[in-house]
Amino acid sequence: MIRIGFPDGTEREFPEGIEAGQAAATLQQAQEAVAVKMDGRLLDLSAPLTQSGKLELVMPDCPEGLDILRHSAAHIMAEAVGHIFEGVKFAIGPAIEDGFYYDFDLEEKITEEDLGRIEKEMRRIIAKGEPFQRLSLPKAEAMRRMKDAGQVYKLELLGEIDQEPISFYGQGDFLDLCLGPHLPDASRIKAFKLLSVAGSYWRGDSRNKMLQRVYGTAFYSEEELKKHLKLLEQAKARDHRRLGKELGLFSVHEEVGPGLIHWHPKGGLIRHLIEKFWYEEHLKRGYQIVYTPHIANERIFEISGHLDKYADLMYSPMDIDGQPYRLKPMNCPGHIMIYQSRKRSYRDLPLRLCELGTVYRYEPSGTLHGMLRVRGFTQDDAHIFCTQEQLASEVAGVLELADFMMKAFGYTYRTYLATMPEDHLGTEEEWQWSTEALRKALEERRTQYEVDEGGGVFYAPKIDIKLLDSMGRLWQGPTIQVDLNLPTRFNATYVGADGAEHLTVIVHRTVLGAMERFIGGLIEHYAGAFPLWLAPVQVKVLPIADRHNDYALEIKKGLQEKGLRSEADLRSERISLKIREATLEKIPYMLILGDKEAEKGTVALRHRTEGDLGQHCLDDVAARLLAEIEERIPA
């Protein structure tokens, strides 16, 4: 017999080997459950229980329940593709955020038009309601089966698995190498949609074969699916790649290389305005601006550990005077060099160094995505060198800065405290005091936060801030990390009040992150309609007829003298067309000029979303706009 504990605190004895679903049958909502957790481990409802422990239900409305649905849908899709196309070699098919995908190797190209055929076959398979069944095989048997089936990708994966037996899942005539868990049967898949087809290198490596990746999504109800598809349509309309091209903000050129952003004048101006804001706020808070080289001798990255830990992200060395140099993937070694340029006293601390530093990291071509995933980017980096006693107050200062800047861009956010992972550097004592300093800073700021147990990086606990955009999507935002590794590696010390040397505490922090990613996210957050203070063109002057052009140029000059970015549309076109095009360009304000305005020396003010705002004198319009800019009203 084994003893099973339940969430309500009760315990019961069951015969060893009882199925998880049978053991849970007496629990409320057991019939709706899609899987169970046994001592935190996810299991199928059909899994035999062989040890005592605590059992919980996994319901459809929890994140694990949704992942199990989508993983199961990926298997059904793979089975359907195998029915429709001959000679399919199956790669991998996981659940991902908001959906699932499966990678296929086949001679025939899967087109967008084929998605309907695949969906139809999936519905036929689902209607049969066949169970997902787990099969355990000795490794030799598993290898034989996959070899006989010609499944070369599964063979490669099998070759990397050490433990036995090997876990497979089958439904119908489809058998897949998989750890599970899955739904009890296919009939639980009620609402799904295949979304797109894309190319994807096997294992994300451009040296490998290009596979065909089919993306889809699935929900437990049609209502949830429709809601999600509507959000996808909105996201498509806000896609920064489309808007970036339409609004003339940036471009990427194959002649130069993928993942390398070219900032056009309007996009460059937006970036300049954000950088200017960034510098101003950092200088107010006692940061000092530094610049470090784009390349460095490989030795510095050996000392820092980046060459050991991040070699796959770093570009190949270049030979300079017989020495290997690298494009820098991080700014921190350079900042530490500046810190160590002279002996530091406790009186020098805290020392806050900041840099908008451009770094270079290799990203597989299949992962590149407009401005959001690039190979060269400018990081809004800063490193704070302080004592243990100063750590909490310094982190609180970063939290204040992050809060101020995120509100200026119209973001709300969620905050997470990520603690010590199993694989970590440093002692537990070091992790304890550094984590408590982060916790103290959060609580002093009265910041609501969730604890991400074990979510810290190997060298540091951290605070992660996730931004919520106007569509409710989460984006990576500010991060604050206490480094327990680099001070030791570089012997970064200060002389304390006791005359002895002590290791300096280093805080890594970003507020905006990569400028490319941040501005790409902003384009989608604002749907390209930047607030007045960030708009490349703040005012468009629109004369109704050619006879009003001289007055339009006079008004434009007056706006520019007052510090407002303006353009005049002097084309001989209908005023309705000029208004429509200025609105499509997402220009915040328009000034309409006709006979009445020219005679009275006024302008007709129009807003891109609010429409006609009436007649005003230029000074009043300028005062109104300058006040809006000063307040940095986010939308």
Q: Which residues are identified as catalytic? A: 332, 361, 379, 381, 383, 462, 508
Closest to 397 (Cα-Cα) out of 238, 289, 549, 511: 511
DSSP state of 564: -
- Partners of 58 in the beta sheet? 35
In whole angstroms, how far apart are CA 232 and each of 163, 217, 471, 476, 541? 41, 11, 10, 19, 35
User: What distance in Å separates the CA atoms of residue 482 and residue 105, rounded to the nearest whole number?
Assistant: 44
Q: If you write DSSP's letter for every residue of 451-509 in order, what string do you get? A: EETT-SBTTB-EEEEEEE-TTS-EEEEEEEEEESSHHHHHT-EEE-TTSSEEEPEEEEE
Would you say the C-alpha torsion 13, 19, 23, 26 has a positive or negative sign?
negative
Q: Please say whether the beta carbons of 357 and 378 come within 8 A.
A: yes
Residues 632 and 411: their CA atoms lie apart, in Å, by 13
Beta strands in 202-308 (DSSP E): 210-219, 250-251, 262-263, 288-289, 295-297
27 DSSP assignment:
S
Backbone angles phi, psi at 531, to 5 degrees: -65, 165
Cβ atoms 131, 171 nearer than 8 A: yes
Given the DSSP bridges, would you call strands 539-543 and 566-568 parallel, antiparallel or unpaired?
A: parallel
Q: Please report which helix (H) or strand (E) contains residue 588, including its range.
A: none
The sign of the torsion formed by the CA atoms of 90, 94, 97, 100 equals: positive
Helix (H, G, I), strand (E, B) or coil at 351: strand
- Contact 4/12 with Cβ under 8 angstroms? yes
d(CA 362, CA 373): 10
> How far apart are the C-alpha atoms of 304 and 64, rounded to whole Å?
38
DSSP string, 149-218: TT-HHHHHHHTT--SSSEEEEEETTEEEE------SBGGG--EEEEEEEEEEEGGG-TTSPEEEEEEEEE
Q: Quick check: helix, strand or coil at residue 292?
A: coil
Do residues 526 and 635 make contact, with C-beta atoms less than 8 angstroms apart? Answer: yes
The number of angstroms, rounded, from the C-alpha of 224 to the middle of its chain's C-alpha atoms is: 23
Q: Would you mind telling me the total number of residues written for the chain in this entry? A: 635
CA distances to 33, 76, 121, 189, 583 from 128, rounded to whole Å, are 21, 12, 11, 12, 53
**Residue closest to 296 by CA, chosen among 304, 285, 286:** 304
Structure tokens at 386: 């302080």
Q: Cβ of 453: how many Cβ atoms within 10 Å?
A: 11
Token pair of 528, please?
A: 């390209």
Among the listed residues 78, 372, 384, the one whose alpha carbon sits nearest the alpha carbon of residue 252: 372
The token pair that represents 394 in the structure block: 């310094």
